Amino acid sequence: MREYPIEHNKIVSELLDGKFIISPSPLFYTIQELEDDYTEFFIKSFNYKLNLEAEFIYLSSDEVNEKRTRDFTLFLAILSRELDYSGKNFRDKIELGSFDINETEELLRQSSKWEILEKTTVSEFDKFIKTWRSKNLIEIDGNKFKFTKAVKLFFTFAMEIAEEKLKEKTNEEKANA
């Protein structure tokens, strides 16, 4: 019988809860040390992919078509846009700053893109924030919230889209040249 780390139960239950494990959590380093073992464990037991990024870890599945993840991406995209429009450095603010829950909801409601958000789970903002706290993507402190490092996953997603678009554009230009 193989030996499991002391935190095994916690690691498995947190990840299966759909939570992100974020450095410097001790769980993060245990998984990092046993990366191969855990990768195999999750794929063989549940058919889930273990994603070990520089600062966070999570399970993903191609079979999951989660509308809530789409909603979170929309929320982040529109929040970034509004912060940029108001002359703030959106990335610093999102990665390092904290947000007043009511003010943020107000900021989004005044956005011309609210018509998109109001059709999603973002429309019940308090509930939305709490849902994502349970996944460790957001921390709540009183009437304020902060994003955890896992938010970078969605920035990477946006960068990949933009880079693909740039490639498309370059190819089109080459083709037209």
Partner 1 sequence: MIKLSGKYILKFLQNHYEFVQDAFNYSKPDFIIDSNILEKLIEEYNISNDPKISVTKLIDVKFCRQLPTKDFKINRSYADFLQFLFDDFTLDLPQTLKERYKTIFELFTALKTEPKASKTIVLIQNIINIIDVFLNDIHRQTQRLLSDTESLKVNADEYSDLSKRLEKAVFWIDEYIEPLNKILEKGHPESFYSALVEIQKYTSEKQYIADSFKLKREYNKLYGSVVYARAELDHNLQKLTRELRPLLDRIKSDSIILSGFYHFVENVDYPENYIVPIPSPIKKTKGSTIFKEFYSEAEFFVDQFNYKTSAVYYEEQVEELEWLPDSTYFKEQLLKEDKVEDFYLWCFDALKKHTDEITLSKYFSLTNLLLEEDLIAEYKTDERITIDLKDASIKIPKVRVYERVSN
Residues lying near partner 1 in the complex (CB under 8 A): 13, 16-18, 20, 46-48, 58-66, 69-70, 73-74, 76-78, 80-81, 84, 87, 89-91, 113, 116, 135, 153-155, 157-165
Least CB distance to partner 1 at residue 147 (A): 14
Least CB distance to partner 1 at residue 34 (A): 20
Q: Which is nearer to partner 1, 65 or 176 (CB)?
A: 65
What is the C-alpha to C-alpha distance for residues 75 and 145, in angstroms, rounded to an integer?
14
Q: Which is nearer to partner 1, 125 or 154 (CB)?
A: 154
Q: Which is nearer to partner 1, 30 or 73 (CB)?
A: 73
Half-sphere exposure of 46 (CA within 13 A, CB side): 19
Best CA proximity match to 110, nearest among 100, 120, 119, 118? 118
| One-letter amino acid for residue 90 of the chain | F
Least CB distance to partner 1 at residue 62 (A): 6
What is the C-alpha to C-alpha distance for residues 69 and 90, in angstroms, rounded to an integer?
20
Least CB distance to partner 1 at residue 143 (A): 26
